[in-house]
Amino acid sequence: MGEHAYGQPLTRLEDDALLRGKGRFTDDIRLDQEVRAVILRSPHAHAALKSVDASAARKLPGVLAVLTGEDVAVDGPGPVLSELGLPTFPKNGGPAPGPVVKPELPVLAQGRVRFVGEPMAMVVAETEEAARDAIEAIEIDYEILPAVIDMSEAIDGAPAIWPEAPQNIAFEWHGGDPEATKAAFAKAAHVSRITVVNNRVSGAAIETRVALGQYDGRYTLTTGTQMPHGIKATLARMLKVQPDAIRVVSEDVGGGFGLKNALYAEHALVLWAAKRLGRPVRWVSDRAEAFSSDYAARDNLTTVELAMDANGRFLGMRVDGLAALGAYISPKGLNSPVNNSPAFAGVYRTPAIHVRVRGVFTNTASTDVYRGAGRPEALYALERAVDAAARETGRDAVALRKLNLIQPADLPRATPLGLLYDSGHFEGILDRALAEAKHRQYPARRDDSARRGRLRGFGFAHLCERVAGAWNENTELRIENGKATVYAGTMGNGQGHHTFYAHLVAIRLGIKPEEIGFVQGDTDKLAVGHGTGGSASLVLGGSALQGAIDEVIKKVKPQAAERLEAAEVDIEFDDGHYLVAGTDRKVAFTALMPGLNVTGYHLFKPTNHTYPNGCHVAEVEVDPDTGVVEIQRYLVVHDFGVVLNPLLLKGQIDGGIAQGLGQAMMEEIRYGKDGQLLTGSLMDYTLPRAADFPPFEFISAPTPAPTNPMGVKGCGEAGCAAAPPAVVNAVIDALAGYGVRHIDMPLTSEKVWRAIQGAR
């Protein structure tokens, strides 16, 4: 529709309110008679609770309730449970998944605590100050127990955190074909091996977690979440009520990134307390509390072996990974370690792959899904392994990749890990990226850096992700009294959902985007919805909206026929207008809207994943005297399928790259040997700032996705998946003259300096 066609930039509709401070986040909402809750958290990584005495706390002024694990055992919510199992893909000879040890996480500790930050008691008082005073008055007698922090030590004779997991192994999972992989290695001319750490990080959202609970015969939870309907279903099980007895509302969300997907204990606690007290109960996490109690992310130790023939062709790959789960398996904690292991296939024609992953319990906060949810972990290990293989065998990193890339003629192509790639031009993407990055002129730039006493490095990462094929999504379009409103089952947390849904309606129906209403995040207003994650909202929610628009067009067709004085069978629809076939008579959809009351609803069921793919290039300079790394240029050429709104796309790319570079260069959650959190504030946990990076350059090179009506592929996680291997490959290239083969993330100046000094 003219100015609102695909590929036309549309400024975000959300931004006016957000930039003027008129957003509506959970902590902006105030209810009559509400009270404040504060959580007492464990100061120890592992301890038995010999006694908990809250009698003094209960007597303090303003205190309404002090709830402990003993109270939970009487009438409290059930435990926070892991929601997922292990996948069985592909069925080509790999061992079947074994049992998973899934210990229950009580909403308040009972008998023992297993990580610093575990909730032990909740005080509800008239004010936050009164609640915090009461927290200090609770007396607890601890018996300190040995803490297990390091994954490698956990599986090598450390004390068992759970008796049912004697080696602290929660599960062992295999993917791919071990026999075919073994045969491939047997005929290899060279085997390259690298072990990499994917460091533990925090989502560190601008908005910390907040939960506001109400009970008036029915529970209402207001919270910032990405999946309101999923939270509702889980709460119903925990509170032992029917789902209709619960409403979940999520308004503006100040960053989610996956770590606001799942349920936390506080969601259930505020509802339980609200029912007991007959008043709304609010809990707000502070930043230090967030670092200790939010689900963390990543935390993998992965060894990749790559078998090649004498010419450098990949014959097989063997992956052996450890994934830290924390002391408990979080609701979606099994997702990242295994569900996205198919990403190890990458863009290469590797004939045989075998992946083994062991989930490990440690006395730390649980890990859960985080932007990419396993794809960044796999892609980092893969692209570091390919670069290492090139360096070991004296081959050019570009030439080695080109020799092994999947070609357009190979598509559709089944990978050894169960995916079916259906579109893309991987070599074309690589060529374009290298040309735009002026790769041929790189030696001259390297020499110039050397004259200035700097080490220059060129690195890149080539990725293919699977997106938007794991669940269904629904969307409604309602035309009521001349007003169009989209009701979405997805839940925005900064991506611009209102904008892209309105854009899609404008394209088809000709309604101005700013005149289109948008409703999300209320389980009463849309009964079913999956929520937001996995770069899937536009692919799944947008495709569902296409079906809903089709239904509205069909329902309004009789009115159009009447207005045009034609038979309904002769009416066609195109470019926002109903037309009489074979004539120039037409009427705009918008002209029929006054007085209309119709609803279009559609549930979109994907037939395959989409496969966004691209190449990220980083060029760096390293100061050998200080170890400081400066990114000189960062360039992306990416196939995201058909582009709806380039402004939203660029925003997603920039944000993802910033998070990926943050992990690669500065972010890390660290614990001491005793399990004490060493990075519990923004003074200790370093987040990237705009000045840390150059402007990110982005070039779109789309091939349409064949599995959805728009041809889009999803873009939210590509940046954080490709940025870490691209920049680490560049830094290792810069240090190649010293013989440095690998440095684990984050590449702080101290780490880089120590690597240089060690090599010298």
Residues 175, 274 within the same domain: no
Give the residue-averaged pLDDT of 7-19: 94
In a domain, 341, yes or no: yes
Chosen domain end from 371, 405, 439 = 405
249's CB contacts (< 8 A; 6+ apart) are 220, 221, 222, 223, 228, 521, 522, 523, 524
Enclosing H/E stretch for 17: helix 15-19
- Order of strands across the sheet with 473-480? 516-519, 483-488, 473-480, 597-604
In a domain, 78, yes or no: no
Residues 378, 447 within the same domain: no
Poorest-confidence range of 79-93, 133-147, 278-292? 79-93
Q: What are the tens digits of pLDDT across the range 682-721? A: 999 999 999 999 999 999 999 999 999 999 999 999 999 9
Q: pLDDT value at position 92?
A: 59
Beta bridge partners of 631: 620
Residues 498, 594 within the same domain: yes
* Strands 35-41 vs 63-68: parallel, antiparallel or unpaired: unpaired
Give the residue-averaged pLDDT of 148-171: 95
Which ranges of 565-690 does DSSP label H, i.e. alpha helix?
589-592, 646-665
- Local structure of residue 367 (DSSP, 8 states): B
- What percent of the chain clears pLDDT 70, i.e. is strictly above it? 99
Q: pLDDT value at position 98?
A: 77
Residues 455, 483 within the same domain: no
For the chain, the C-alpha Rg in angstroms (whole number) is: 27
Q: Report in angstroms the alpha-carbon separations of 158 from 8, 47, 168, 299.
A: 58, 16, 8, 19
Residue 258 has pLDDT above 70, yes or no: yes
- Local structure of residue 96 (DSSP, 8 states): P
Chosen domain end from 570, 604, 638 = 604
Give CA–CA dist 402/383, Å, rounded. 13
Q: pLDDT value at position 267?
A: 98
Distance linking the first and last C-alpha atoms of the chain: 63
Give CA–CA dist 616/636, Å, rounded. 5
Give CA–CA dist 276/299, Å, rounded. 39
Angle at 312 between CA 191 and CA 614, to 5 degrees: 100
Residue 57 has pLDDT above 70, yes or no: yes
- What percent of the chain clears pLDDT 90, i.e. is strictly above it? 95
| Residue carrying the six token digits 């400066």 | 630
Q: Report in angstroms the alpha-carbon separations of 595 from 478, 479, 480, 545, 559.
A: 12, 9, 7, 22, 11
Give the residue-averaged pLDDT of 259-279: 97
Give CA–CA dist 726/196, Å, rounded. 14
The closest of 226, 304, 227, 223 to 269, measured between CA atoms, is: 223
**How distant is the alpha carbon of residue 571 from its chain centre?**
45
In a domain, 364, yes or no: yes
Token pair recorded at residue 628? 């400081």
> What DSSP assignment string belongs to 671-712?
B-TTS-BS--STTTSPPP-GGGSPPEEEEE-----TTSTT-B
Give CA–CA dist 494/488, Å, rounded. 15
Spell out a b/e string for 129-146, using b for 16 or more CB atoms within 10 Å of the CB, else e. Answer: ebbebbbebbebebeebe
Which ranges of 452-596 does DSSP label H, i.e. alpha helix?
497-509, 543-564, 589-592
Which ranges of 42-112 does DSSP label H, i.e. alpha helix?
55-58, 69-75
In a domain, 113, yes or no: no
Residues 538, 646 within the same domain: no
Give CA–CA dist 483/599, Å, rounded. 12
Give CA–CA dist 402/326, Å, rounded. 39
Residues 131 and 38 sit within 8 Å (Cβ to Cβ): yes
12's CB contacts (< 8 A; 6+ apart) are 496, 498, 499, 647, 648
**How distant is the alpha carbon of residue 46 from its chain centre?**
29
Residue 514's pLDDT band (cuts 50, 70, 90):
very high
Residues 460, 474 within the same domain: no
Q: What are the tens digits of pLDDT across the range 186-202? A: 999 999 999 999 999 99
Residue 91 has pLDDT above 60, yes or no: no
Residue 93 has pLDDT above 70, yes or no: no
Residues 358 and 171 sit within 8 Å (Cβ to Cβ): yes
Residue 90 has pLDDT above 70, yes or no: no
Residues 615, 738 within the same domain: yes
Give the residue-averaged pLDDT of 484-504: 96
- Order of strands across the sheet with 571-574? 571-574, 577-580, 586-588
Domain with 163 in it: what CATH number?
Answer: 3.30.365.10
Q: pLDDT value at position 3?
A: 73
Q: Report in angstroms the alpha-carbon separations of 537 from 329, 484, 498, 658.
A: 26, 20, 11, 21
The closest of 551, 562, 563 to 508, measured between CA atoms, is: 551
Mean pLDDT of the chain: 96
Residue 610 has pLDDT above 90, yes or no: yes
Give CA–CA dist 47/25, Å, rounded. 37
Residue 89 has pLDDT above 90, yes or no: no
Give CA–CA dist 389/382, Å, rounded. 11
In a domain, 184, yes or no: yes
Beta bridge partners of 321: 302, 357
**Residue 90 in 3-state DSSP?**
coil
Q: Give the domain extent around 310.
A: 146-200+296-405
Give CA–CA dist 342/413, Å, rounded. 13
- Local structure of residue 389 (DSSP, 8 states): H
The overall longest dimension of the chain from CA atoms, in Å, is 87
- Our count of domains for the chain comes to 4
Residues 195, 311 within the same domain: yes
The closest of 334, 354, 359 to 344, measured between CA atoms, is: 354
Chosen domain end from 236, 265, 293 = 293
Residues 386, 301 within the same domain: yes
In a domain, 641, yes or no: yes
43's CB contacts (< 8 A; 6+ apart) are 116
In a domain, 44, yes or no: no
Is the alpha carbon torsion for 728, 730, 732, 735 positive or negative? Answer: negative
Residues 265, 384 within the same domain: no
**Residue 360 in 3-state DSSP?**
strand
In a domain, 361, yes or no: yes
Give the residue-averaged pLDDT of 290-317: 98
Residues 391, 245 within the same domain: no
Residues 440, 536 within the same domain: no
Q: What are the tens digits of pLDDT across the range 122-146? A: 999 999 999 999 999 999 999 999 9
Enclosing H/E stretch for 213: strand 210-215
Residue 6 has pLDDT above 70, yes or no: yes
